[in-house]
């Protein structure tokens, strides 16, 4: 018997996601207190500043002097594209890890956007702990910026030197497989995996959405894939950001996920909920009307470009 998959109803049924569209909030209420929201937003802005600093600056890290050519890296190597979305997701996931005392890891599919994870390591203090010459002061920040993708420094992808890194960034396609591998036989682990929309076009990644068929919800942990629809693979349009939103949702329903869509403003106010066994998974929810447990995939809005 063939049963038609029922796609969840979206709040914006008639509106397709556009890489150029406005930020839209889809949740009701205010899960974050105003002060918490302000601080989280400030942390995000600081992260973005660090990302830009790594990409462009070799000196004058806090722009205390008027910017000159001498301060700018002569050759730019590095990706901005996924940095904003990755920082955003990382920060909010961190907030939830603290709030719910979760045992969790973050896997960066677009590991080419290394400034995202490096900025977090630096702000958390682990970078300076591991590399004491890169302290959280003016001199340390200058070194931290300059070394990024620079002769004698570190790579532009999330390389093994990145504190806490166990997944080499750079070769696209394996993030979902690694995420599922990480939770097999680890029932308490939640792995959030960020997938670039360009990365999603690689053969290995396109196939690996089906890894959910191998997951035992009782003996394994949970994977929370976040698809980052920033619309581009470097500067070329991505397929998943160009099909209609209904088609995109239907695709993921077909893969066996419950797609939840968050626009930038919605992510900021996203809340988390743990379902009881046997689902044993975490569901990010932006609309309280959704009561169905499952294995969600999040389709994240353009925030990177
Ligand atoms: C297997 C593989 N093929 C090609 C590349 C070259 N490459 C680096 S980044 C990138 C685009 C990735 O797009 P996306 O995941 O959307 O990241 P964004 O450009 O949005 O940061 C490509 C094709 C690669 N790193 N690995
Ligand atoms: Mg992209």
Q: Domains plus CATH for the chain?
A: 73-112+157-300 (3.40.50.970)
What local confidence, expressed as pLDDT, does residue 164 receive? 84
Burial of 243 (0-12, 13-18, 19+ CB in 10 A): middle
**Closest ligand 1 atom number to CA of residue 79:** 21
* C-alpha 7 – ligand 2 centre gap (Å): 25
How far apart are the C-alpha atoms of 274 and 267, rounded to whole Å? 17
Q: What would the pLDDT profile of 89-132 be if each residue is shown by its tens digit?
A: 999 899 999 999 999 999 999 989 999 999 999 999 999 999 99
Give CA separation, 85 vs 181, 188, 234, in Å: 24, 26, 14
Q: What is the helix (H) or strand (E) element at residue 143, kind and residue range?
A: helix 138-147
* 49 touches 87 (CB < 8 A): no
* C-alpha 82 – ligand 1 centre gap (Å): 10
How far apart are the C-alpha atoms of 51 and 91, rounded to whole Å? 14
Q: What would the pLDDT profile of 185-243 be if each residue is shown by its tens digit?
A: 999 999 999 999 999 999 999 999 999 999 998 999 999 999 998 889 998 999 998 88
What local confidence, expressed as pLDDT, does residue 13 receive? 44
Q: What would the pLDDT profile of 80-93 be if each residue is shown by its tens digit?
A: 989 999 999 999 89
Q: What is the dihedral of CA 286, 288, 293, 294, to 10 degrees?
A: -20
DSSP state of 184: T
Shortest-distance Cα residue to atom 11 of ligand 1: 233
Q: What is the dihedral of CA 62, 64, 66, 72, to 10 degrees?
A: -30
State if residue 203 touches ligand 1 by the CB under 6 angstroms criterion. no
* 95 touches 181 (CB < 8 A): no
Give the pLDDT band (50/70/90) at residue 254: very high
* C-alpha 195 – ligand 2 centre gap (Å): 9
Residue 213 vs residue 1, higher pLDDT: 213
* C-alpha 90 – ligand 2 centre gap (Å): 17
State if residue 155 touches ligand 1 by the CB under 6 angstroms criterion. no
The H-assigned helical ranges of 17-103 are: 34-56, 83-100
Whose tokens are 């809340």? That residue is: 271
How far apart are the C-alpha atoms of 30 and 32, rounded to whole Å? 5
């Amino acid at each position: 018997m063939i049963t038609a998959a029922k796609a969840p109803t979206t709040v914006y049924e008639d509106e397709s996601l556009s890489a150029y569209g406005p930020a839209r909030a889809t949740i009701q209420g205010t899960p974050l207190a105003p002060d918490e929201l302000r601080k989280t937003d400030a942390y995000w802005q600081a992260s973005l500043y660090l990302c830009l600093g790594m990409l462009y600056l070799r000196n004058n890290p806090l722009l205390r002097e008027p910017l000159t050519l001498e301060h700018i890296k002569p050759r730019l190597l590095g990706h901005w594209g996924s940095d904003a979305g990755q920082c955003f997701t990382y920060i909010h996931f961190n907030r939830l890890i603290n709030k719910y005392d979760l045992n969790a890891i973050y896997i960066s599919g677009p590991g080419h956007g290394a400034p995202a994870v490096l900025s977090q390591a630096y702000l958390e203090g682990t970078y300076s702990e591991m590399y004491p010459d890169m302290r959280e002061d003016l001199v340390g920040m200058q070194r931290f910026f300059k070394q990024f993708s620079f002769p004698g420094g570190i790579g532009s992808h999330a390389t093994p030197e990145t504190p806490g890194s166990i997944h080499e960034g750079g070769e696209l396609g394996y993030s979902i497989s690694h995420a599922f591998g990480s939770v097999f036989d680890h029932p308490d682990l939640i792995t959030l995996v960020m997938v670039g929309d360009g990365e999603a076009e690689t053969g290995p990644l396109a196939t690996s959405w089906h890894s959910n068929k191998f997951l035992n919800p009782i003996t394994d942990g949970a994977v929370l894939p976040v698809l980052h629809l920033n619309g581009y693979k470097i500067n070329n349009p991505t397929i998943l950001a160009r099909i209609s939103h209904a088609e995109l949702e239907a695709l993921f329903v077909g893969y066996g996920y419950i797609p939840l869509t968050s626009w930038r403003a919605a992510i900021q106010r996203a809340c988390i909920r743990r379902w009881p066994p046997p689902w044993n998974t975490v569901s990010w929810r932006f609309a309280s009307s959704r009561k169905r447990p499952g294995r969600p995939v999040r389709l994240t809005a353009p925030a990177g470009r």
